[in-house]
């Protein structure tokens, strides 16, 4: 199979031997840092499936750059994407340092107007940087100071837009073939490859449909196939699930997760939904007012949010396991009872506010209960966030009054319980 060649962007004046963006991820010198390098080989080689012993999704301390506010944490020569995105537009300014390894998925999370979409457009080349730099696979794509700017159409970048922007006058097949043809493939060749891609996202029988005839979930998958078909080295997803209803979200999240896990280059995802961010990304970057206020593995941020805002935003206990009906079995033979019945690989999730703390084993109907030790306590607004260690690592939100009543302190041994009705199950 021939791979469409991305044109090599303008030569990097600082590097005598610029890497082609098509270069295999392993080909960059020094190897990738962080998870990408630690990932096991073999069929599970995409690595993000790896479930830590505790059953909680993100591997502890494994994400590069935990907690490095605004800094280029974890970024060495090995970062496939090395950027400092500076966009100054008077009233609004973005200044975001971003280093992402090959195979890593980073989510930009933040409220509306935080600069997420601006960052994405700058990465795609749709909005110019006013400062900083952007380097992908060792090739300089943009550096205003050096007057280097590779235009959008010559960047090896694929974008899944918020409302997909499938070309309404082209069939699903020709939408996917569009990028391949733009990269010089003949019509028949491009269509054959586009067909393979549609097959990969499970839409081969809708190849001839116009975008208008597709459901939201189908359109999203066509948009994903279209973005991936020219084999970009940087995949950008702008609120990939914002336009979907709750039911379709589950299905699309699962598809998206599978494809992101199989994607060997850099993926950057913009979302305002912490669940999407936690399920899909290896690392979160929380943006506020154009600045990164916290970044790290999702669970680390949930445990130690730096602000009340982040505590509210990234408060979720998320576990991966295998579901049978309402029971999700995690590693270590722990079982969580969840409200939604699913089968097969699944996520179980509940907010910190759903966790109740008891001094002794609670005599309730709650089936999800475990003895835990208080590992840390942090006050956020009118809540205290507890970091609990036990068979599961949990975060819990309690009122200061409840903390006082229970006489909690670091090291306290207590029981934690969660009602099944407040525990959601999602197919993974």
Partner 1 sequence: MGGRPWALVAPAVVGLVFLVLPFVGLLVRAPWRAMPQLLSGDTVWPALRLSLTTATAATAVSLVLGVPLAWLLARTEFPGRRLARTLVTLPLVMPPVVGGVALLLVLGRNGIVGRWLDDWFGVTLPFTTAGVVVAEAFVAMPFLVLSVEGALRGADTRYEEAALTLGASRFQVFRRVTLPLIAPGVGAGAVLAWARALGEFGATITFAGNFPGTTQTLPLAVYLSLQDSPDAAVALSLVLLAVSLAVLLALRGRWTTGAQA
Stretch that binds partner 1, among 85-93, 118-126, 302-310, 415-423 (CB under 8 A): 118-126
Stretch that binds partner 1, among 129-137, 176-184, 296-304, 417-425 (CB under 8 A): 176-184
Q: Does 2 bind partner 1 (CB under 8 A)?
A: no
In angstroms, give the least distance from the CB of 347 to partner 1: 31
Q: Does 213 bind partner 1 (CB under 8 A)?
A: no
Residue nearer to partner 1 on the CB measure, 159 or 403: 159
Residue numbers 3-32 binding partner 1 by CB under 8 A:
6-7
Q: Which position among 48, 116, 226, 283 is part of the footprint of partner 1 (CB under 8 A)?
A: 226
CA dist 182 and 196 (Å) reads: 18
Q: Does 154 bind partner 1 (CB under 8 A)?
A: yes
Stretch that binds partner 1, among 222-230, 240-248, 256-264, 328-336 (CB under 8 A): 222-230
Q: Does 230 bind partner 1 (CB under 8 A)?
A: yes
Q: Which position among 3, 24, 40, 182 is part of the footprint of partner 1 (CB under 8 A)?
A: 182
In angstroms, give the least distance from the CB of 109 to partner 1: 22
In angstroms, give the least distance from the CB of 116 to partner 1: 16
Q: Does 158 bind partner 1 (CB under 8 A)?
A: yes
Residue nearer to partner 1 on the CB measure, 126 or 243: 126
Q: Rounded to the nearest 10 degrees, how much is the dihedral formed by the CA atoms of 244, 248, 254, 257?
A: -10
SS (H, E, C) the chain: CCCCCCCCCCCCCCCCCCCCCCCCHHHCCCCCCCHHHHCCCCCCCCCCCCCCCCCECCCCCCCCCCCCCCCCCCCCCCCCEEEEEEEEECCEEEEEEEEECCCCEEEEECCCCCCHHHHHHHHHCCCCCCEEEEEECCEEEEEHHHCEECCHHHCCEEEECCCCCCCCCCCHHHHHHHHHHHCCCCHHHHHHHHHHHHHHCCCHHHCCCCHHHCCHHHHHHHHHHHHHCCCCCEEEEECCCCCCCHHHHHHHHHHHHHHHHHCCCEEEEEECCHHHHHHHCCEEEEEECCEEEEEECHHHHHHCCCCHHHHHHCCCEEEEEEEEEEEEECHHHCEEEEEEEEEEEEEEEECHHHEEEECCCCCCCCCEEEEEEEEEEEEECCEEEEEEECCCCEEEEECHHHHHHHCCCCCCEEEEEECHHHCEEEEC
Q: Which position among 24, 152, 389, 404 is part of the footprint of partner 1 (CB under 8 A)?
A: 152
In angstroms, give the least distance from the CB of 231 to partner 1: 11
List the x/- string, 122-151, binding to partner 1 by CB under 8 A: --xxx------------------------x
In angstroms, give the least distance from the CB of 210 to partner 1: 9
In angstroms, give the least distance from the CB of 181 to partner 1: 8
Q: Rounded to the nearest 10 degrees, how much is the dihedral formed by the CA atoms of 419, 415, 395, 398?
A: 80
In angstroms, give the least distance from the CB of 179 to partner 1: 4
Residue nearer to partner 1 on the CB measure, 124 or 372: 124
Q: Which position among 119, 159, 260, 357 is part of the footprint of partner 1 (CB under 8 A)?
A: 159
Asked if residues 222 and 201 have their Cβ atoms less than 8 Å apart, the reply is yes
Q: Does 92 bind partner 1 (CB under 8 A)?
A: no
Residue nearer to partner 1 on the CB measure, 223 or 408: 223
Asked if residues 85 and 134 have their Cβ atoms less than 8 Å apart, the reply is yes
Residue nearer to partner 1 on the CB measure, 123 or 148: 123
CA dist 178 and 67 (Å) reads: 40
* Pairing status of strand 81-89 against strand 394-398: unpaired
How many binding residues for partner 1 (CB under 8 A)?
Answer: 26
In angstroms, give the least distance from the CB of 226 to partner 1: 7
List the x/- string, 261-300, binding to partner 1 by CB under 8 A: ----------------------------------------
Where do contacts with partner 1 occur on this chain (CB under 8 A)?
Answer: 6-7, 124-126, 151-155, 157-159, 161, 165, 167-170, 178-179, 182-183, 226-227, 230
């Amino acid at each position: 199979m021939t791979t469409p060649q991305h044109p090599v962007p303008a030569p990097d004046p600082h590097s005598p031997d610029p890497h082609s963006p098509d270069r295999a991820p392993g080909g960059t010198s020094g190897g990738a840092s962080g998870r990408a390098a630690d990932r096991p080989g073999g069929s599970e080689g995409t690595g993000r499936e790896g479930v830590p012993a505790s059953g909680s999704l993100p591997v502890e301390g494994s994400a590069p750059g935990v907690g490095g506010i605004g800094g280029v944490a974890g970024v060495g020569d090995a970062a496939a994407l090395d950027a400092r995105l500076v966009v100054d537009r008077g009233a609004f300014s973005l200044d975001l340092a971003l280093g992402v390894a090959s195979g890593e998925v980073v989510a930009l999370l933040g409220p509306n107007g935080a600069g997420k979409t601006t960052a994405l457009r700058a990465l795609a080349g749709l909005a110019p940087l006013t400062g900083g730099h952007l380097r992908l696979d060792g090739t300089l794509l943009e550096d205003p100071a050096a007057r280097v700017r590779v235009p959008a159409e010559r960047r090896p970048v694929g974008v899944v837009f918020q409302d997909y922007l499938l070309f309404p006058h082209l069939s699903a097949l020709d939408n996917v073939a569009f990028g391949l043809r733009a990269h010089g493939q003949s019509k028949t060749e491009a269509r054959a490859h586009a067909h393979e891609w549609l097959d990969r996202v499970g839409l081969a029988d809708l190849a001839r449909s116009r975008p208008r005839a597709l459901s939201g979930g189908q359109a999203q998958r066509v948009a994903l196939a279209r973005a991936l078909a020219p084999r970009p080295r940087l995949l950008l997803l702008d609120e990939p699930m914002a336009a979907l209803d709750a039911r379709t979200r589950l299905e699309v999240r699962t598809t998206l997760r599978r494809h992101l896990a199989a994607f060997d280059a850099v993926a950057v995802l913009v979302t305002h939904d912490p669940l999407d961010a936690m399920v899909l990304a290896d690392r979160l970057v929380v943006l506020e007012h154009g600045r990164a206020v916290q970044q790290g593995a999702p669970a680390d941020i949930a445990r130690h949010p730096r602000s009340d805002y982040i505590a509210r935003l990234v408060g979720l206990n998320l576990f991966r396991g295998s579901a049978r009906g309402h029971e999700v079995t995690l590693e270590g033979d722990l079982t969580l009872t969840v409200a939604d019945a699913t089968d097969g690989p699944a996520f179980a999730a509940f907010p910190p506010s759903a966790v109740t703390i008891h001094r002794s084993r609670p005599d309730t109907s709650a089936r999800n209960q475990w003895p835990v030790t208080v590992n840390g306590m942090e006050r956020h607004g009118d809540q205290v966030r507890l970091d609990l260690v036990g068979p599961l690592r949990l975060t819990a939100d309690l009122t200061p009054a409840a903390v006082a009543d229970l006489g909690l302190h670091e090291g306290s041994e207590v029981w934690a319980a969660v009602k099944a009705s407040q525990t959601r199950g999602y197919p993974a």
